[in-house]
Chain A
Amino acid sequence: MYDVIIVGAGPAGLSAAIQCRKWDMNVLVIDEFPKAGGRLLGQLHQEPNGEWWNGIEETKQLTETASKLNTEIRLGISVHHVEKIDDGFLVHTNHGDFASVRLLIATGAAESAAPVPGWTLPGVMSIGAAQVMTNVHRVRVGEKGIVIGINVLSAAIAREMQLAGVDLHSMVLPAMNPVTKDHAHPKKVMDKLSRIAHLAPSAFLRFGGKVAKANIARKLATQFYPRNGMKMWGMPIHLRKAVTQINGTDHVESVTMFDVTADGKLKKGTEKRVEVDFVCIAGGLYPLTELAAVAGCPFHYSEELGGHIPVHNEEMKTPIDGLFVAGNITGIESAKVARAQGKVAGLSIAREKLKGIADLEYKVLQAMNDVRKTRNEASIQFHPGIEEGRTKMEDVFRESKKTETAL
């Protein structure tokens, strides 16, 4: 029986494991990908201060520390069910079952699709898949592509692909349909980009920031958005063009593109075909919570945090005894925040086992402070209202505890 099983070897899972090992706990880390690091592996971007964030290097530091502490990490194993048993948890995998007293779910996030007609053709992929192929597997995804969906994540990954020498025509919006919602609305996209603009390293996002002060200015900026798009690192970003259809017989051959109004309506007679052999669709991220759900954890829906989130508090505890969460499963934020949260979870778990150690009490508080600090200094913020979302979640957790006591 392990003291703790950690599902997910990303920044959150690994840093939690390191803390638990420092306190000499019996730890097992499981991840379904053949390499440790999670989505950290694909990340490569320049911070506003000019420094580069290289996910592969960051991963190396975490895995080296973990292995110095003799951490048991099993890769390429999928967890398909988690059961609450009397004295802990039974974790079912495709390589057998493992039991532990405590469980940390650090499964990160998955991508939301933003379907455009033709999105099932070979050659269409999510922007995250393009990132993994480019930066992890070092495979060129195609000769010339286009990115559908303009957000922080897609802009960052488009830049990574550009650095790897992949030819991108431009970034455009998906055409408006019942599924693409806000992703297709030029003004709403501009709103989101401009609220994070002061944090973003690119000239394009700073442009949004300058006009972000007043709503009317933002409206004007969308209204008078240059017809040829604005260039970021030499690549056009079109807030006023949208793809209605991805074309091809056996494979992507082209996309059909229209000019759109500031509200995202198609302008007649502006139809154009752009020849590409791959398409990346970017619909944002949502927390990957399946295991918390089958473990019986209660949920709270939070738009600010990116979707349905397992109820938890700042110490990364859920209302279920012995069940902890950390990283993007608790809300979509940067890898640095995930890593800091992992540290809190690890210390929090150690504290629960080794009751009454004053040093640990202090360390948990310190680590929680560090999460707040990291969040405030984050250069990439996916959702504008992250603070509000976090505060609300704290209330929901307290409520859930009250109900429990009342029962």
Chain B
Amino acid sequence: MDNITICRCEEVTLEDIKNTAKKYNCTAREIKLRTRAGMGYCGGRTCRPIVDTVMEHVTGEKPGDNIPLKVQPPVRPVSLSTLEGKENEK
């Protein structure tokens, strides 16, 4: 059961998250930084709520008013040339 994949983009398992949470007794945000869960291609859209749920189960951390795992731009995959403004209009 624990080998179930939680973050598909970065291939982080339930076991990885549980162990890290126990070892460092940390918050969901720290889990993200330590395991890379939620930092992949989809920007955490798939696993964000799951990581929250796992954390509630493991450390009892309840969701607060702040967005879990924090959101950083870009919120969609974009190429560096787009960010530089070189590929504006096709």
| Cβ contact within 8 Å between A179 and B54 | yes
How far does the alpha carbon of A340 sit from the alpha carbon of B64 in the complex, in Å? 29
Query: Per a CB cutoff under 8 Å, which of B47, B66, B75, B76 touches A299?
Result: B66
| Cβ contact within 8 Å between B53 and A178 | yes
Given the known inter-chain contacts A113-B47, A286-B49, A299-B67, please indicate yes or no for A178 contacting B14, CB distance below 8 A.
yes
Residue A96 at the chain B interface, CB threshold 8 Å:
yes
Chain B residue numbers with a CB within 8 Å of A94 are 76, 78, 82, 87
| Cβ contact within 8 Å between B54 and A290 | no
| Cβ contact within 8 Å between B75 and A301 | no
Size of interface on B: residues with Cβ below 8 Å to A: 38
| Cβ contact within 8 Å between B53 and A179 | yes
Task: Tell me how many residue pairs across A and B have CB atoms closer than 8 Å.
Answer: 94
| Cβ contact within 8 Å between A120 and B71 | no
| Interface 9-residue window, one of A75-83, A160-168, A341-349 | A75-83
| Cβ contact within 8 Å between A308 and B67 | yes
How far does the alpha carbon of A300 sit from the alpha carbon of B64 in the complex, in Å? 8
Residue B40 at the chain A interface, CB threshold 8 Å:
no
Contact with B along A343-376 (1 / 0, CB 8 A): 0000000000000000000000000000000000
| Cβ contact within 8 Å between A301 and B63 | yes
Nearest residue (CB) in A for B57 is A178
| Cβ contact within 8 Å between A80 and B1 | no
Residue B58 at the chain A interface, CB threshold 8 Å:
yes
Query: Per a CB cutoff under 8 Å, which of B4, B58, B65, B76 touches A78?
Result: B76
| Cβ contact within 8 Å between B54 and A178 | yes
Q: A92-B73, A179-B6, A179-B54 are in contact. List 18 more A-B contacts (CB 8 A).
A: A80-B73, A96-B88, A120-B5, A178-B18, A178-B57, A179-B14, A286-B49, A290-B43, A290-B75, A291-B75, A293-B67, A294-B75, A299-B66, A300-B65, A301-B63, A301-B64, A308-B63, A308-B66
Query: Can you identify 23 A-B contacts, CB atoms within 8 angstroms?
Result: A32-B76, A80-B75, A80-B76, A92-B73, A94-B82, A97-B85, A97-B88, A113-B46, A115-B4, A115-B50, A117-B3, A117-B4, A178-B18, A178-B53, A283-B49, A290-B43, A291-B75, A294-B72, A294-B75, A299-B65, A299-B67, A301-B65, A308-B66
Question: Chain A residues in contact with chain B, CB under 8 A?
Answer: 32, 78-81, 92, 94-97, 110, 112-113, 115-117, 119-120, 177-179, 181, 283, 286, 288-291, 293-294, 298-301, 307-308
